[in-house]
Amino acid sequence: MRIALALAALALLAFATPVLAAKTDGSPAAQFVQGLGDKALTSLTAKDLAANVRAQRVRSLLRENFDIQTIGRFVMGNGWKTATPAQKSQYMSLFEDMIVATYTKRFADYSGQSFKVTGSSAVSDSDSLVKSQILQKDGPAVMVDWRVRKKDGGMKVVDVVVENISMSLTQRDDFRTVLNDKGVDGLIEVLRQRAGKPAGK
């Protein structure tokens, strides 16, 4: 039995072809993401930055480089179809505020991580998936993929995938419960509370 196992193991080794390290290519999408990462690290991570200054920088980087309309609409899922224009605009504004607040806090907690693009591939006519790693001083690398879309003559991020978990899809599933329980107004209200704004129109 033992000998049979050993022989089987030897046979299996024939199939063990190593994975070649992905080359960092100079594709436009890869360069775009590397540029975004570099910009973020230089302008958003300083320790002594005032919170509102950091938030403002996050917001402008976000508007420049992310397709917030598409992401927000995707995350709202079926709610978008039934929302009035007024609700849509309230939602989009609160959605953007929420992302800004989240990332402002994350960058404030920054502790020496570095960012490296490791490759990219086209996944459709308009989209590329750029693979990157966030390297921590004290822990394993985190795999982050960026779905980048050609838009308006430039590029915009439409999804961030952390360790194969899509942030947009997760948020969409998250919001769905609130939408089902409380409707679009309920969702807007929850987002408003999150942002610490007073209840109202």
Distances (CA, A) of 37 to 42, 43, 80, 100: 9, 10, 31, 16
> Exactly one of 38, 123, 185, 197 binds another protein (CB under 8 A); which one?
123
- Calpha distance 163→139 (Å, rounded): 15
Residues 6+ apart with CB under 8 A from 91: 72, 76, 79, 83, 184, 187, 188, 191
HEC-encoded secondary structure of 24-63: CCCCHHHHHHHHHHHHHHHHHCCCCCCHHHHHHHHHHHHH
Residues shown for the chain = 201
The footprint of another protein on residues 36-65 (CB under 8 A) is: none
Binding map of another protein across residues 88-107, x = CB under 8 A, - = no contact: --------------x---x-
Q: According to the binding rule CB under 8 A, does residue 199 interact with another protein?
A: no
161: tokens are 């995938």
Closer residue to another protein in complex, CB, 61/95: 95
Q: According to the binding rule CB under 8 A, does residue 161 interact with another protein?
A: yes
DSSP 3-state of 161: strand
Under 8 Å between Cβ of 155 and 148? yes
Q: According to the binding rule CB under 8 A, does residue 175 interact with another protein?
A: yes
> Exactly one of 114, 126, 185, 197 binds another protein (CB under 8 A); which one?
126
Of 1-9, 28-36, 46-54, 87-95, which segment contacts another protein by CB under 8 A? Answer: 1-9
> Exactly one of 26, 139, 196, 200 binds another protein (CB under 8 A); which one?
139
Of 18-26, 35-43, 44-52, 53-61, which segment contacts another protein by CB under 8 A? Answer: 18-26
Closer residue to another protein in complex, CB, 48/196: 196
113: tokens are 């991580």
Q: Residues interacting with another protein, by CB under 8 A?
A: 1-2, 9, 12-21, 69-71, 73-74, 102, 106, 121, 123-124, 126-127, 129, 131, 138-140, 145, 147, 149, 151, 158-159, 161-166, 168-178, 187, 190-191, 194
